[in-house]
Structure 1
Amino acid sequence: MASSKRKFDDGDSNWEVTQVVKPPKVTAETAAAELQEDRGNYGSRASQRPRRARKRPERFADQLYQPVSKKKETPKRVTKPLIKPPSKRSLATKNSTSRRSWIEPHAVTDTVVNIVDDSPGLPARLSKIVRLKIPLTGSTLAIPTNQPRQQYSDESESELSSPPASLPSSPVFSYKNIQNSPPLDRRGQCAQRTPEPVPASSQDVATPSTAPENPLTSQATVSQHREPKTPEESIRGTPAFVHHTQTQSSPGSPEIHDRFTYLTPDSAFYRDANTVYSKLDVGLENGQVHNQIEMSCRGKTEPLPSLYAASEATTECEELSGPLVGEQVYTSDTDYLRDITERLLVQQNKGPNKPEPYGQPEVWADGRQELCETLHYYRAYQSACYSTGGFARGFMFDKVAHNRDYMDSNVVLSRAGGGLMKDIDSGEMKSKRDQSEDSAALGLRNCMIHRNPVVIITGVDNPNIPSKPPHQYCVLDYFKPTHVWAEKSGDSKIVRYRFEKLNTKKESWWRAKDAQEVIELGSLPSPVEKVCGSCNLQSPQVYLNGWMCLQSACTAFWKIYTNTAEPGRSMPAQEPKEASLVYDPRFLKQKTPWHNDDHDYPLASNAAELSRHAVPGENTSVAFWSGMVCPDCGRCTSRLNWTNWECSNTACRYTRTPPHTLIPALSLRDPLWPITSSYTLSRDTMSPRLELKVSFEHGYRINRYEIPGVNGFIAHMVADKTVLEEDGGPDAMFEELQQTDIGLQRRSMPNGQLKGPNYCRHFAVNYGMPYKFIAATASRPFDGAARPITSTRSRLNWAAKLLLAEENGKSMDEVCQEWQEKEFNEVLALGYFEEQKINYHDDGEFGLGPTIATLSLGAPGTMRIRMKARHYHGVSSVASLYDDAAPIPGCQQYEARLALQPALDVLKRSDTKAWNTRRKQIPKQLGLTHRGTARDVLTMQLGHGDIVVMHGADVQKYYEHAVEHAGKLRFALTCRYIDPESLKLEDQPKYAVEPDAEGYDGPGLM
């Protein structure tokens, strides 16, 4: 033990050091006699320890310890019992102010003791008798660092016997209460616990490699122990200990001398300890001892029942004041663990030439959209984590991975998503900002608390998967989230996760073919876990380099403390070099027990079934338009057809066609907004900038909205009961569309941002002139089309003429003659199941006429109108150039932009270069950015049978619209005029588009 440097004033000490009486020489006869007298004596060296005479301190005679005060009010210093080193060397050869103490080894019993010093009057700097927690598995007696081991004979003049070579292996111990304390030997200079004899058979217990035990049970038991709060306590001078999971060395191993240092009372582990003087039984007379506690001797393969053992350390070392190491392991153990880690990393098979997998995935997909539409546990179209309701459900790991990410057949270590930017020098994605625990991490913590497993999915470009995935996206299995912690990557803090396979009895298909497991899950000793002395939070040891605090807000975060040659001292705390980090396989391959281990949760999704009763709209619910896992091949299959599912795997022919139960038109009536023969009430909302004109004609309430700065209008024609129930009217059209297959399908979007095929979130079919909008669709002729298609065209032609006649102040006959040349020649039918929608868009494509009309049938919908972001902000989102279109009321910086417009128009005509330069300057001058969107200026509640007409090219130029609906089923039939001259030759229809032959006349109703 390192020396304890203190000022020693005999005048202030109440201890009287008596002359030590040399014990008589022990002979075979006297030893035998002592064995006969003491039935618990097993002949060990501990039982032959010489007795130490001691004069009892007078102040300890009849009362507990009380601080002695003389002239000063402060308590007197109580000097620790002086224990001379087991040597003939005199203390005079050493510094009179330095005292060296040695710890006497004791036999380990099954009793848990608590020896603490809780004197209220002792200053913190003074020596105390402290408790010392010592791991016994693979550990030995604490010996001063770099101190040569000394040998002593039985005839030594030392007051203490030589320490035994090792202590029995046992988990880390703590102390309970003083009633279970070992007996006290009152003959020495201070009260010392009398050691019990240790049988020879118990002095060498089995190591983890020789003691057969259940790995899971053993790990669960041992993991309950926690070591002292190091290395952060090293700031207070706390030394480190070899963790209980280290392999035991032989008693004669030279490594024993260098791997232990001593704890000090200033350590955080002892900062709450009570002083021993209020606990000790001081009523003993000289020579009295407590009754010895019976010790159970066990064989090498039988574990000790006690999780803790008592330490004989009774003094602190004030010399150890610098920061000390947090974790030391044997060199042989480090090499062994490092070898395991290297073999585990090799089996990741990083590189393009990965081996074939052991099996095939149960669930897979070739596109991100079909994956997200099908799986209930993963619906994240952009992010790697899908969480909902405060719980994480699934994770995807693909091309973008951290260099410390890890994956094998049972364990996954990953970095949390987000915070990556492309490095300018290397071109790689690197952490550029600190991460914190977001909703994904909090969702994982909830899963850990509630024992909810999550599903992990891999992409084909995942660099860490051990084998080559057979498809673009493959589902692995259910995993237990076990750890969430923080690390550093470069200069940024990152959040990391550990996952562990839930059902280990189920074969991992992604394991490399013909590969053997390096080590079974849970077969290694439990990982090192310690409590930080700075933040008082526990962190596991993730890397063999050493234990570090993994709490990002802690001052000791991501720092390792390294020993120096000087005993008890360490180098200043330093962050590890990332390239040198080596995973601790005990952390990687630990097994975390859950009650629902080995449960087999389903990976396949959406086995939606119809009830035995005919329920209208049941087969148009979310479950029936979501994707499904093909029962034949396992592919995630989106529902692309209006009537059925059809597996997209070319090698599979599976289809499923659920029957449809008719939704009657009468079920669409809202009892809170009753439909009568009177004009229907309005539920539209608008911005104060808009102008509204209301009229009532032919069974419709007509709300006409005019937008300032825009040449055109938007009209909402709200139908009443008379219109809905007319022959061949909206009620009849809605029911006919349910009973007729008009060819509705989800159309492909070639410019989608997701991997794999991308599709619209609604069903569509086009009739008449081909319409090439965002998702192009094949067109069909009006000849042979279902009656609702042709009737819609005729009804909307009439509605447009009615509104234009009022707009221009002309008669209906005059408008009909003008309209006949450019009447609607195209009908786009859209079908919506429950929760389907169409996002913001405009209908201003080249070749379209200025008027667009839509008929709504079925469930109510909500149509929203807002200004386009380019015109609202005045800045393009790509090049951040000023928009040269004239500003309109409602845009940002309208007055300032309006004042700049004349000069900008002149510059555009005279000097193009100067005009472009000016367009770059204006956004900075006015503080314009392209971020955000404009608010909706108009929201129209579309009921069954309602018509919306948008007239004017400026409406489509400056504004965009989106439609959502509430209910099980809705159709939207939109008519346009498409100029045949605008179509390419290959896009021209192969059929003739005839004029409207029905000639619907609305005035005939009233």
Structure 2
Amino acid sequence: MKRKRDDEEDDEYISGAAPLKRHNSASGRANRSRVQPVPSSTRPAARPAASSATSPAVPSRLEATFRKTVDELHKNKPEPSAEPPVWAAVKAALNDAVPYFKKHQGSLYTQKLVAQGMLVDAEVGSRDKFLSQVIITSVGGGRVTNETTKKMVRVKDQSKEKSDYRFLNDAREKKLPIAMIADYFHVTDVWAEVVLGQDNKPVRIFMVRIEKINLDSRSWWTPKESIGRDAGEFKPGQYSCPLSTCHACRKESKKMYKQGWTCLNEECAQFFQFPAHIDVNELEYNDHFLNERTAFTGPQPKYDLIPALPCIKGDASGSEKEYKQGIVCPKCHGCSRKIQWNYWYCENRECDFKHTITVQMNSMEKIAEENAKIMAKRRTYKFRRGEKPSSLPLHFSLVIGGHRFTVFFLTDGTGRFIGSVTRIRPTKQARSRPGGYNDIYTDVQNSDIPFERRGARNAGCRIEELTSHWSANFGAPYKFGVVVKFSTPFRDAPLVILEIQKRLTWAGEEAIKATIDLIKEHNLDVVEGSIPTGFKPFNEQLVLGYFEESRISPHDDGEKELGPTVASLSKGGPSNMMFFPKRRSGIGHEKKAVLGLILKHGDMMVMHGALIQKNYNHSVDARGKHRFAMTCRYIRPEMIPDQEQRILAVENGTMPKEWDDIRYNGERDRLESITTGEEVLRPGST
């Protein structure tokens, strides 16, 4: 049944498309147009990273790796004077917990081209020094991976432009403080040296000497029993490193090596020249250079070394981007990530600290403001045309039961169609009525859903990175790029999850019907077998929770265990969904989206056709502060090789018997009995 919807919204929400005309209900025909592509918009102590007794356990591989690393790093080292104010077993936890170091790869963190923090980790050179008040290390950048050993090696001279040199030298000139993931330091010297790289080839590198800002306080890493000179503790004026002038370039360089002086101007012909009997690999810094101290006269550090615990301020809901950051535990000082939805737990297994901030859902008024904001920004986009017209999707607009359907047909790059993407927008009444989409949003927020962030990259390793979003799985088990350890059976799922399952079943069925009808009506050229005419009932639901600026990077849903249809329901703030051709698809550039959709509160989206997943990736970026997305699929049990998992998929993916005779009727916007057609309440509700 097709009829005019009761309320048309006056916004244009399809990225890159010409404004849609309203469906002509008299003719029963849909409007269509081509879519243009849119712009892609240490701790030194041996404490393992783990959870408290009430928290999910840290992967054993991670714990074992950390224990081994700690044992190797601190073997035969003297006992430090104190405990570190901040420590981390996982680099990602450090990145999340402190504001002055957010660098998943590399050693120097900059913010607006200004050095903020530095971590000396895996790559340590022969002349690196870690003293009580001074650190000397090489400047990051310029290494490549040896294909045989898989280790980072130097093969050519380090460049000032392609390394961290310019940031550190700028910090030296401007006397800026830098957090060294130990304390606050400042840069005193930056210079060039020559070392032996791969195959003993001499290469030029840059070195940096940094000095602790507060020389009056004892460093926590200073050996406990040492004092004064033995501890490496000095004051400005006690030592001064002399200078000499190069006769060739007339520039001064410090006399920093025990073996003698050399010109440190890398542009000079006499740069790093020593008598033949001196082996540059055996060079040592002299006491004057190591013990020289410089009074810090720059600005005070921007951030506290130990950040305060997060707390709700003003009208914040707890899902703003700052509440996705980690914490420094006030009990053990370990860094921990935000893994759970409503609270932080200390990842140190020996600590039981927990910090709770219950996330509040956004009001409908705030969601409306977010929608208006994204639409205003949408109208400022400058769209890029596709590389070839045959790669552009075709789209149609029609109304079914008051829902506005926008059906996109994606191509194989030659102009033939391989699948459809349907966005279904409900009426205002369907959102606001009792039991409507607004109430479902509230029910999801108030339900006991086991949200958790999972390892997205290097899972179980010290450099593990978590997903940007939270997830929980219901029904048949599904591994969606990251490992979902547990899937709640439908028999134990919250009632709202089961109702959403029924609503998305209706969306999937209607989207397929609309797709097939449009193919026939407009005689579309479809790749044979790419768009099935039948619908397979969903047996799995993945629930994702988004904070502000959460996202899912480009990916596909093309696992062999999945059926050809995927349907999702959006709740809360708006989001951008983008479709990108895969690299070897021949459709277009992998970073140029051919289709962009804005998904609002209550919108449903259906992808139909396995070749979409083969040829395209899709991404989702949250544009609001609080969002849920419920996605249903059909997991094909016969494609699961493990018999136990296969049986589990069938058992967990079966809806409770009291739902067998219930369906969602989208045209009447209600749950009803399949047998009698009468409206019914959600089973188990009062």
Is residue 133–residue 233 contact of structure 2 (8 Å, CA) maintained in 1?
no
Letter in 2 for 1:559: Q
Give how far 1:427 is off: 8.4
Partner residue of 1:766? Answer: 473
Residue among 593, 601, 607 paired with 1:936:
593
Higher relative contact order (CA 8 A, sep 6+): 2
Give how far 1:428 is off: 6.5
Q: Does 1:960 align with 2:667?
A: no
Indicate how the Cα distance of structure 1 residues 557 and 889 shifts in structure 2: closer, same or farther if over 3 A, else same: same
Give how far 1:752 is off: 3.1
Give how far 1:947 is off: 1.8
Which whole-Å CA distance do the structure 1 matches of 2:283 and 2:438 have between them? 71
Indicate how the Cα distance of structure 1 residues 525 and 632 shifts in structure 2: closer, same or farther if over 3 A, else same: closer
Is residue 174–residue 298 contact of structure 2 (8 Å, CA) maintained in 1?
no
Indicate how the Cα distance of structure 1 residues 788 and 424 shifts in structure 2: closer, same or farther if over 3 A, else same: closer
Partner residue of 1:107? Answer: none
Indicate how the Cα distance of structure 1 residues 650 and 582 shifts in structure 2: closer, same or farther if over 3 A, else same: closer
Which whole-Å CA distance do the structure 1 matches of 2:282 and 2:435 have between them? 78
Q: Does 1:591 align with 2:299?
A: no
Partner residue of 2:325? Answer: 626
Partner residue of 1:440? Answer: 164
Give how far 1:589 is off: 1.3
Which whole-Å CA distance do the structure 1 matches of 2:143 and 2:371 have between them? 51
Deviations along 1:246-287, whole A, 9 cap, x unmatched? xxxxxxxxxxxxxxxxxxxxxxxxxxxxxxxxxxxxxxxxxx
Residue among 638, 642, 651 paired with 2:341:
642
Give how far 1:367 is off: 0.9
Which whole-Å CA distance do the structure 2 matches of 1:416 and 1:703 have between them? 54
Is residue 537–residue 551 contact of structure 1 (8 Å, CA) maintained in 2?
yes
Which whole-Å CA distance do the structure 1 matches of 2:494 and 2:267 have between them? 67
Give how far 1:731 is off: 1.9
Partner residue of 2:484? Answer: 776
Give how far 1:759 is off: 2.8
SS of structure 2 residue aligned to 1:999: strand
How high is the sequence identity, in percent, across the aligned residues? 31
Which whole-Å CA distance do the structure 1 matches of 2:419 and 2:145 have between them? 46
Give how far 1:486 is off: 1.3
> Within 5 A, what are the aligned runs for 1:366-377?
366-377=89-100
Partner residue of 1:610? Answer: 312
Which whole-Å CA distance do the structure 2 matches of 1:711 and 1:631 have between them? 55
Partner residue of 1:1002? Answer: 666
Partner residue of 1:993? Answer: 654
Is residue 125–residue 137 contact of structure 2 (8 Å, CA) maintained in 1?
yes
Q: Does 1:850 align with 2:507?
A: no
Letter in 2 for 1:505: D
Partner residue of 1:404? Answer: 127
Instruction: Give the TM-score of the pair, scaled to structure 1.
Output: 0.52
Give how far 1:597 is off: 9.9
Deviations along 1:858-888, whole A, 9 cap, x unmatched? 111111211223x24xxxxxxxxxxxxxxx4
Partner residue of 1:658? Answer: 357
Which whole-Å CA distance do the structure 2 matches of 1:426 and 1:890 have between them? 36
Which whole-Å CA distance do the structure 2 matches of 1:629 and 1:751 have between them? 23
Is residue 137–residue 208 contact of structure 2 (8 Å, CA) maintained in 1?
yes
Deviations along 1:593-631, whole A, 9 cap, x unmatched? 1136998973222522223x5x152x1112212100000
Which whole-Å CA distance do the structure 1 matches of 2:493 and 2:358 have between them? 23
Partner residue of 1:265? Answer: none
Partner residue of 1:713? Answer: 420
Partner residue of 1:454? Answer: 178
Indicate how the Cα distance of structure 1 residues 986 and 749 shifts in structure 2: closer, same or farther if over 3 A, else same: farther
Is residue 372–residue 380 contact of structure 1 (8 Å, CA) maintained in 2?
yes
Partner residue of 1:704? Answer: 407
SS of structure 1 residue aligned to 2:180: strand
Indicate how the Cα distance of structure 1 residues 575 and 720 shifts in structure 2: closer, same or farther if over 3 A, else same: farther
- Between the two proteins, the alignment pairs up a number of residues equal to 559
Structure with a larger share of its residues in strand: 2
Indicate how the Cα distance of structure 1 residues 424 and 366 shifts in structure 2: closer, same or farther if over 3 A, else same: closer
Q: Does 1:668 align with 2:367?
A: yes
Give how far 1:636 is off: 0.5
Is residue 459–residue 465 contact of structure 2 (8 Å, CA) maintained in 1?
yes
Structure 1 stretch displaced more, 423-432 or 658-667: 423-432
Deviations along 1:767-811, whole A, 9 cap, x unmatched? 111112222141113335334322221121111111211222399
> Within 5 A, what are the aligned runs for 1:493-892?
493-516=204-227, 517-518=229-230, 519-522=232-235, 524-532=238-246, 534-560=248-274, 577-595=279-297, 602-611=304-313, 613=314, 615-617=315-317, 619-670=318-369, 673=372, 687=386, 688=389, 689-697=391-399, 698-709=401-412, 711-749=418-456, 751-752=458-459, 754-755=461-462, 757-773=464-480, 774-809=482-517, 822-869=536-583, 871-872=584-585, 888-890=586-588
Is residue 771–residue 978 contact of structure 1 (8 Å, CA) maintained in 2?
yes
Q: Does 1:487 align with 2:193?
A: yes
**Structure 2: where are the runs of 5+ without partners?**
1-71, 197-201, 520-531, 671-686
SS of structure 2 residue aligned to 1:373: helix
Which whole-Å CA distance do the structure 1 matches of 2:637 and 2:575 have between them? 32
Is residue 503–residue 598 contact of structure 1 (8 Å, CA) maintained in 2?
no
Give how far 1:446 is off: 3.4
Give how far 1:498 is off: 0.5
Indicate how the Cα distance of structure 1 residues 867 and 831 shifts in structure 2: closer, same or farther if over 3 A, else same: same
Instruction: Give the TM-score of the pair, scaled to structure 2.
Output: 0.74
SS of structure 1 residue aligned to 2:418: coil
Letter in 1 for 2:284: V
SS of structure 2 residue aligned to 1:809: helix
Which whole-Å CA distance do the structure 2 matches of 1:785 and 1:546 have between them? 74
Which whole-Å CA distance do the structure 2 matches of 1:407 and 1:671 have between them? 50
Higher-Rg member (1/2): 1
Letter in 1 for 2:394: L
SS of structure 1 residue aligned to 2:594: strand
Partner residue of 1:337? Answer: none
Give how far 1:754 is off: 4.9
Give how far 1:534 is off: 4.5
Give how far 1:757 is off: 4.9
Which whole-Å CA distance do the structure 2 matches of 1:968 and 1:354 have between them? 47
Give how far 1:730 is off: 2.4
Is residue 139–residue 206 contact of structure 2 (8 Å, CA) maintained in 1?
yes
Letter in 1 for 2:441: F
Deviations along 1:635-677, whole A, 9 cap, x unmatched? 111111111111122221111112444421232114884999x
Is residue 665–residue 734 contact of structure 1 (8 Å, CA) maintained in 2?
no
> Within 5 A, what are the aligned runs for 1:138-153?
none
Structure 1 stretch displaced more, 550-559 or 381-390: 550-559
Q: Does 1:975 align with 2:632?
A: yes
Indicate how the Cα distance of structure 1 residues 671 and 741 shifts in structure 2: closer, same or farther if over 3 A, else same: closer
Which whole-Å CA distance do the structure 1 matches of 2:289 and 2:152 have between them? 27
**Structure 1: where are the runs of 5+ without partners?**
1-348, 458-475, 563-573, 812-816, 873-887, 892-932
Which whole-Å CA distance do the structure 2 matches of 1:852 and 1:970 have between them? 19
Which whole-Å CA distance do the structure 1 matches of 2:366 and 2:632 have between them? 27
Letter in 2 for 1:497: V
Give how far 1:575 is off: 11
Deviations along 1:719-776, whole A, 9 cap, x unmatched? 4424432442322222232333322111245843851654322111111111122221
Which whole-Å CA distance do the structure 2 matches of 1:621 and 1:754 have between them? 28
